[in-house]
Amino acid sequence: MPPTTLLRRTTLAFPRTSTLSTQTRTISAYGYTQSKALTFRDYGDPASVLSLHKHSISPPHGSALTLRFLASPINPADINQIQGVYPSKPTFTTSLGTAHPLAVGGNEGVAEVIALGDAAKQSGFAKGDWVFMRAPGFGTWRTHAAAEAGQLVKLREEAREGISAVQAGTVSVNPCTAYQMLRGFGNLKEGQWFMQNGANSGVGRAAIQLAKVWGYKSINVIRSRTGEDAAQKEEELKEELKAIGADVVITDAELQAREMRDRIKEITNGGRERIGLALNCVSGKPAIAMAKLVGAGADFVTYGAMSKQPLTIPASLLIFKDIRFHGFWVSRWSEQNPEDKVKMVEHVLELTRKGEFRDSPMDEIRWEWETTGEELVEKVAQTLEGYRSGKGVFVFGDSTK
Amino acid sequence: MPPTTLLRRTTLAFPRTSTLSTQTRTISAYGYTQSKALTFRDYGDPASVLSLHKHSISPPHGSALTLRFLASPINPADINQIQGVYPSKPTFTTSLGTAHPLAVGGNEGVAEVIALGDAAKQSGFAKGDWVFMRAPGFGTWRTHAAAEAGQLVKLREEAREGISAVQAGTVSVNPCTAYQMLRGFGNLKEGQWFMQNGANSGVGRAAIQLAKVWGYKSINVIRSRTGEDAAQKEEELKEELKAIGADVVITDAELQAREMRDRIKEITNGGRERIGLALNCVSGKPAIAMAKLVGAGADFVTYGAMSKQPLTIPASLLIFKDIRFHGFWVSRWSEQNPEDKVKMVEHVLELTRKGEFRDSPMDEIRWEWETTGEELVEKVAQTLEGYRSGKGVFVFGDSTK
């Protein structure tokens, strides 16, 4: 958990709410930094509980640093965290200059070091460095933040080359989830198969591309579309996923059809090529349909439940087919393996630079100094609806410098 | 699978059905052995499809051996196999002298070598040896059988000392299931906890006793009793299980009560002592109640579904609590690890000899040469009902020598 005493209470010289000030320069002549943050004091619906809060950050001393955020995505887990239904809790603190404790939304992002104390310099940080948060719960939906050196991981200069802020700011959750599930379970060898649902998600697209790098073959399940042009939409999405490296793409309906068993057999060379791994973010019935198609002894990794249904597993799948059901939560994994995490991030960024890995479609939300709280909260609420082309990511404009 | 050509068709000199003969000497002057076997030609309800079939076995040559069974238990899996709902199938063969292929019931047991060919002697077998079947599907509910050396595992003379036929004949399934689940999952250290349901079953009682040997502590769930004297029956069973080493015994109803979380915390020293493993043969709701009480990252091993219900797992138990759901099937494990299996059997028998391991309550069913098929089939059918004090085990009398 981040310390709560880093930020000095705002003084009269630096009015604490945005309604009292329209100043755009965020660093004052005295070294104080002005910041705006999307905060909440109670759990609830993001549209109701989030508000933009302005405060000031005192000049950093010792191991403290002042950060300017560059890019911070809106992940579904961030929404669940605000709703109070996520096991990883945010930090509520009065250090942003309020009488009642506030938490800042967001868990992922990349920031630039704009000022730092001597001890932070001795820890290897410098002005201009790009940094990630070592653990979730920091609060990344804000223009600026005070941090301690121990809370941050620096992105090496070489790893940053040719990488955009959005690329760096969105690599820690989805690509890392896909990466670690493919490498940490199933013991897949080159040429072997895995299966996944939610293949059109950020994690799904990352898994398709990373699998190509390691020579794994993928069977990808997408949600069946409805309406008049359903077939065409499905066909387009299938082609899109194949273009980034998917070997086979099927719909939910195809997955659950009786003839799928034969088709899978055909696809896997008469069943001689083993499907050793399944990645599940849907749960419910479609997940069990997938579990029935993988090979005996396969690892079945759940990282989501988009259907809002549990996994109803017949005991025979466990006892006789020896399917091993695991869960994966990138937050826990990252906290337990901070060094592997940094290596993984740098590897994904290297693949990005080489053109072997492309980000999922992103909906960039500009956050300028003058952007209102209403506009920002609306964007968060839209992410909640889940009908957008891609994932929302706050991109901080030059006016927040 | 056992070869099907070991048994020569019966000749006119040796009538093939028991209705034609009441002879009690099972070995003729010509070295032919008379055998009776509980067989079935079609899958179905044991009471309908099982019948006692008499046939003769020719003198063994080469690597063949003739066996006399000493003790063969009736396990629930044997019943499921006859019903045709078990994934491990029996061997249907015409080698017992019938035009239509027959299978012999039963998968576990111990037999004595009564005659053998020269090659079998060179493989290390001798007359009087006690042997187990290397793989399931052999058919152990019979007085005698022909076998190949490769199908058998010999129990070393030293391991046999002080061990009864019933003890040897019932060690391969239940005690070995408990043994391997406790040792192969959960990575328990001395002083750590595991939890199990069906604690009164053969596997459950074995797990309680083996845990004591290794210094593991157990929380045991038994089925809630009904009727007027339910409380007294539950209390008696709790005391009985504590007497063999159970640390804590609770009923299904207690398990699912709200206050159980606090009680578990108390039991495990304020939650500081981790419950790293759960063994489940019940499935359904009570199993999930158990999964919610074990520690984060625990292994949850399913080896049965007595409730006939699936495991309905909330995704959060997988993702956030990191519970790993596995299955265990002793048949598969034994086939994959034949040498470890022999060592395990010998270890359990050693513990039995030392008085550190006692068999579960057994209902010994005498099988004499003259015992009728009706009597034997009735005993099998009673096991199916599951209301008996213990487990049925055929014990072959002197008249079958």
Q: Do B319 and A311 touch (CB under 8 A)?
A: no
- Select from A303, A313, A326 the Cβ nearest to the Cβ of B310: A313
- With a cut of 60, say whether residue A129 has pLDDT above it: yes
Which tokens is A241 given? 């996923």
Name which residue leads in pLDDT, A22 or B97: B97
Domains and CATH numbers, chain B: 18-170+359-400 (3.90.180.10), 174-331 (3.40.50.720)
- % of chain B exceeding 90 in pLDDT: 79
Instruction: Name the closest residue on chain A to residue B326, using Cα atoms.
Output: A324
What's the CA gap between A106 and A37, in Å, rounded?
10
Q: What are phi and psi of B48, to 5 degrees?
A: -90, -40
Out of A32, A86, A216, A303, pick the active-site residue: A86
Structure confidence at residue A20 as a pLDDT band (50, 70, 90): very low
Neighbours of B122 (CB within 10 A): 11
pLDDT score of B9: 34
- Quick one: which H or E segment has residue B17? none
pLDDT score of A300: 98
Mutate to test the interface with B, among A311, A317, A321, A334 (most CBs of B within 10 A): A311
What's the CA gap between A348 and A172, in Å, rounded?
9
Name which residue leads in pLDDT, A359 or B33: B33
Decide: residue B41, CB within 10 A, 0-12 exposed, 13-18 middle, 19+ buried.
middle
Chain B hits for A310, CB-CB cut-off 8 Å, are 312-315
Q: Distances in Å between the alpha carbon of A141 and those of A35, A38, A42, A145?
A: 11, 6, 16, 10
Mutate to test the interface with B, among A294, A301, A320, A325 (most CBs of B within 10 A): A325
Examine the residue annotation and report whether A43 is marked as an active-site residue of this protein.
no
- Select from B302, B312, B315 the Cβ nearest to the Cβ of A302: B315
Condensed to tens digits (0 to 9), the pLDDT of residues B201-218 reads 999 999 999 999 999 999
Instruction: Name the closest residue on chain A to residue B298, using Cα atoms.
Output: A326
Neighbours of A15 (CB within 10 A): 17
Structure confidence at residue B28 as a pLDDT band (50, 70, 90): low
Structure confidence at residue A266 as a pLDDT band (50, 70, 90): very high
Condensed to tens digits (0 to 9), the pLDDT of residues B136-148 reads 889 999 999 999 9
Classify B221 as helix, strand or coil. strand
Classify A351 as helix, strand or coil. helix
Q: Could you tell me which residues of chain A have a Cβ less than 8 Å from any Cβ in chain B?
A: 87, 283, 302-305, 310-329, 332
- % of chain A exceeding 90 in pLDDT: 79
- With a cut of 50, say whether residue A387 has pLDDT above it: no
Q: Over range A191-214, report the average pLDDT.
A: 96
Chain B hits for A332, CB-CB cut-off 8 Å, are 320, 322
Condensed to tens digits (0 to 9), the pLDDT of residues B75-125 reads 888 999 999 999 889 999 999 999 999 999 999 999 999 999 999 999 999
Instruction: Name the closest residue on chain A to residue B304, using Cα atoms.
Output: A315
Residue B83: name the closest of B110, B123, B113, B43 by CA: B43
Detail the DSSP E strand segments found in A309-390. 311-313, 324-327, 362-367
- Which region among A8-12, A372-376, B21-25, B149-153 has the lowest average model confidence (pLDDT)? A8-12
Chain B hits for A302, CB-CB cut-off 8 Å, are 315, 318-319
Classify B112 as helix, strand or coil. strand
Q: Distances in Å between the alpha carbon of A282 and those of A115, A221, A227, B201?
A: 43, 10, 21, 36
What's the CA gap between B142 and A155, in Å, rounded?
72
pLDDT score of A391: 78
Asked whether the beta carbons of B147 and B123 are under 8 A apart, the reply is no
Which residues, 6 or more positions from A307, have their beta carbon under 8 angstroms from its beta carbon? A282, A283, A284, A285, A286, A287
Classify B362 as helix, strand or coil. strand
Mutate to test the interface with A, among B318, B323, B335, B337 (most CBs of A within 10 A): B318
Out of B86, B179, B216, B303, pick the active-site residue: B86
pLDDT score of A21: 41
Q: Do B325 and A318 touch (CB under 8 A)?
A: yes
Chain B hits for A283, CB-CB cut-off 8 Å, are 315
- With a cut of 70, say whether residue B380 has pLDDT above it: yes
Which tokens is A176 given? 């890392």
What's the CA gap between B20 and B174, in Å, rounded?
39
Which residues, 6 or more positions from B354, have their beta carbon under 8 angstroms from its beta carbon? none
Q: Do B327 and A320 touch (CB under 8 A)?
A: yes
pLDDT score of A6: 36
Chain A hits for B324, CB-CB cut-off 8 Å, are 324-326
Minimal Cα–Cα distance from A88 to chain B, Å?
9
- With a cut of 70, say whether residue B13 has pLDDT above it: no
Q: Over range A389-395, report the average pLDDT.
A: 80
Cβ-Cβ pairs closer than 8 A, A with B, add up to 89
Minimal Cα–Cα distance from A121 to chain B, Å?
36
Minimal Cα–Cα distance from B314 to chain A, Å?
4
pLDDT score of B260: 94
Task: State chain B's mean pLDDT as an integer.
Answer: 89
Condensed to tens digits (0 to 9), the pLDDT of residues A312-361 reads 999 999 999 999 999 999 999 998 998 899 899 999 999 999 999 998 88
pLDDT score of B136: 87
